[in-house]
Chains A and B, each alone.
Chain A
Amino acid sequence: MITHEFELKLQAYLDGELPALEAAEVEGWLARDQEGQALLAELRNTTKALSAAGEVEVKLPETREFYWSKIAREIERQDREPAAVAPKLSWFAWVQRHLVPVSGVALLACLLAVMLVHSEKSSSQFGETELASEDMGSYTFRDQQQKMTMVWLYDRNDDSQFTDPTAVASMDQE
């Protein structure tokens, strides 16, 4: 049975990339194995077909082992190097980087302020009065412009002129 590793080795043999010792091993194996010979013939036909179609054959400047060992060494070298230091940000990049959270916070602060002002306004519009006695009555006067709430208390049983707010207002002689 032909393994994938042998398939790759056979392709390298066909491309002339194997060292002499390995090439001799492959030739010896091919002499004994018909399946390998068939695969080699198929690979040759494919190479010819590609050449006929104008496919440029790329030859590696070095052997396969050396080529892969270079890649392995480069990976090892990069692993050994410390993590690269982040480049210093310019002031514009710094502003841009912090603009998103800062603007988010500013937006939320504005919302909180609006809610706070609104709650203060709404709460100032609703005063609650609780009289201790049923004999007592009250008139509540609220003036948004003057920013005041006046609660006028009166005795329900007292029939004096002060119990009627219109009577009280008429006292003003100005």
Chain B
Amino acid sequence: MKNFHMLSVPLRSALCLLAVGLLAVSAQAQELKVEAQLIWGTNDPLSPDPNHKPVDADLARQLGKSPYRWKNYFEVNRKIVNVPVGAVKSNVPISDHCKLDIKNLGGNQVEVTLHGNGKRVIKHSESLANGWRLILSGDAKNDTAWLVVIKKLDSKGDKSEKPAILPAPASVLK
């Protein structure tokens, strides 16, 4: 502290600015904890698979606000991955037929590539800042739908981050 006082005011200011800049850069460079959920939307009251459990109320409410609405949403599978900045987590299995590539673009931005039956279907980049969710979805058999919900988890921990690896029925994804 005494030595710091001996420095001139502009130099001290520059050091402080440098420290702030480094903090900002390090905050940007943190790895991203991403949760991917496979969800099945149906108007039936119950899922034929007893392992499926209804999604939490917050997500159900959110999905209920979209133009693609079903009465009930069941969680089929859930994966949590940590992705360093600039890195890609490839072939994250979300079901027997579906895999995800998740790339951390930095600044809470991700690029998600969805593969179905070994073929690339869609690539989408989105910011997951401030609790934003990215939902990739499509129709399935018998007037139902599949949804892959991707969101960023708090790195300190999230109540919903307990891994719930459930068997995914082939019927969910076409």
Q: A: which residues have CB within 8 A of B? A: 97, 100-102, 104-105, 108-109, 112, 116, 119-121, 123-124, 127-133, 136, 138, 141, 143, 145-154, 160, 162-163, 165, 168-169, 171-174
Contacts of B160 in A (CB 8 A): none
Interchain CA distance A174-B125 in the complex, whole Å: 33
Question: Interface 1/0s, chain B 62-73, versus A by CB < 8 A?
Answer: 100111111100
Instruction: Decide: B17 and A146 in contact? CB cutoff 8 A.
Output: no
Interchain CA distance A169-B41 in the complex, whole Å: 13
Assuming the contacts A123-B109, A153-B122, asked whether A171 and B135 have C-beta atoms less than 8 A apart, the reply is no
B117 to chain A, nearest CB (A): 12
Instruction: Decide: B17 and A105 in contact? CB cutoff 8 A.
Output: yes
Assuming the contacts A148-B133, A151-B137, A152-B137, asked whether A141 and B67 have C-beta atoms less than 8 A apart, the reply is yes
Interchain CA distance A148-B71 in the complex, whole Å: 19
14 extra A-B contacts, CB within 8 A, seeds A109-B20, A171-B69, A172-B70: A100-B13, A104-B16, A108-B20, A123-B107, A123-B109, A127-B126, A131-B122, A132-B120, A148-B62, A149-B135, A150-B68, A153-B122, A154-B139, A162-B145
| Number of chain B interface residues as a range | 35 or more
Contacts of B170 in A (CB 8 A): none
Identify which of B62, B108, B120 contacts A146 (C-beta below 8 A): B62
Contacts A/B (CB < 8 Å), 19 sampled: A100-B9, A102-B16, A105-B16, A108-B17, A108-B20, A112-B20, A120-B107, A129-B122, A130-B123, A132-B123, A133-B121, A146-B66, A147-B62, A148-B132, A149-B126, A151-B122, A151-B137, A153-B122, A171-B43
Q: Does B130 contact A (CB under 8 A)?
A: yes
Q: Does B158 contact A (CB under 8 A)?
A: no
Interchain CA distance A165-B145 in the complex, whole Å: 13
Identify which of A108, A119, A124, A152 contacts B132 (C-beta below 8 A): A124
Main secondary structure of the interface of B (DSSP, over half): mixed
Instruction: Decide: B127 and A124 in contact? CB cutoff 8 A.
Output: yes
Assuming the contacts A132-B119, A152-B137, A153-B138, asked whether A127 and B125 have C-beta atoms less than 8 A apart, the reply is yes
Contacts of A132 in B (CB 8 A): 119-123
Within 8 A of A (CB), among B128-173: 129-139, 143, 145
A142 to chain B, nearest CB (A): 10
Main secondary structure of the interface of A (DSSP, over half): mixed
Instruction: Decide: B71 and A147 in contact? CB cutoff 8 A.
Output: no
Q: Does B89 contact A (CB under 8 A)?
A: no
Assuming the contacts A148-B66, A173-B43, asked whether A104 and B126 have C-beta atoms less than 8 A apart, the reply is no
Which B-chain residue is minimally distant from A127 (CB atoms)?
A: B126
Interchain CA distance A131-B138 in the complex, whole Å: 13
Which A-chain residue is minimally distant from B136 (CB atoms)?
A: A151
Instruction: Decide: A162 and B132 in contact? CB cutoff 8 A.
Output: no
